[in-house]
Amino acid sequence: MAARSYGQYCGVTSAVELVGERWALLILRDLLVGPRRYTDLKQGLPKIPTNILSARLKELQEGGVVRRVPLARCGLVYELTDYGRAFEPIMLALGRWGFQAMGDPQEGDAVTPDSLTMALRTSFRPDRAIDGDYELHVGDVALRAQVRGDALAVTQLAPPAPPVGGALPSGEAEGVIVAGPGIRRLIGGEISPAEARDQGVVDLRRGDPELLERFARTFRIDRLPSAPVDASTATPTLS
């Protein structure tokens, strides 16, 4: 039951047939954070119908992107194959590209632990990273981001259980950054760390004020030469 074919013999087409169906890329996004159970995925994608989740997981398995792994004691998880993991750089680039088009959140938009984890990864700049150990809260999602050299490790805290097989970082982070969705403007470089604090976009709940500067330098998505028009304010596309 292969996906509806586009009728072309081409690499892009193959890729789109593998992961281009509705919801598939978001499932992939979450699986790039780590193996997940069916229920985890459902929670991380609150609006996905369960039959679609089933169908996509089946298709992704048939495509060799995802593997179904029974767990030792109970249950099972879905995890990426090597081929699926090879999609990571594309996903990160996609996240950066899409970041440029993010407006303000719509009513009811969720920020999930996995989406925020990937957002940190997409905005992470190995080339200009400064070592640091941050605790970041957005909504009720809490993350620990540890930067050492050009490496980033993100751990999910509290509400959802820590990732399978992942060890909780010992000790405390250097500081706690509590933010709303406006943190997008900090990461996007629209406002400086100082402005972000003044405008209440972020709140440094604990730690040295300089920590925020480090954060803003380490996690940053530069605007394109010509940024897209925000769809909500775009001039109506008329013939």
Interacting residues toward DNA by CB under 7 A: 4, 21-23, 37-40, 47-52, 54-55, 57, 68, 71, 75-77, 239
**Number of CB atoms found within 10 A of residue 84's CB:** 22
Judged by CB under 8 A, the chain residues 21 through 50 that form the site for its own copies are 22-23, 25-26, 29, 45-47
Quick one: what does residue 121 bind among DNA, its own copies, none, with the CB cut-off 5 to 8 Å set by partner type?
A: none
**Which residue from 37, 94, 105 is spatially nearest to 71, judged by alpha carbons?**
37
Residue number, 4 or 82, with CB nearest to DNA: 4
Q: How far is the CB of 210 from its own copies (least distance, A)?
A: 27
State the nearest-atom distance from the C-beta of 26 to its own copies, in Å: 6
| Spatial contact of 19 and 65, defined as CB atoms under 8 Å apart | yes
Partner whose binding site includes residue 63, from DNA, its own copies, none (CB under 5 to 8 Å by kind): its own copies
Strand partners, 202: 179
Length, in residues, of the chain: 239
Residues between 179 and 218 that touch its own copies (CB under 8 A): 181
The partner in contact with residue 52, picked from DNA, its own copies, none with C-beta cut-offs of 5 to 8 angstroms by kind, is DNA
Burial 175-213 (b: 16+ CB within 10 A, else e): bbbbbeebbbbbbbeebebeebbeeebbebeebeeebbe
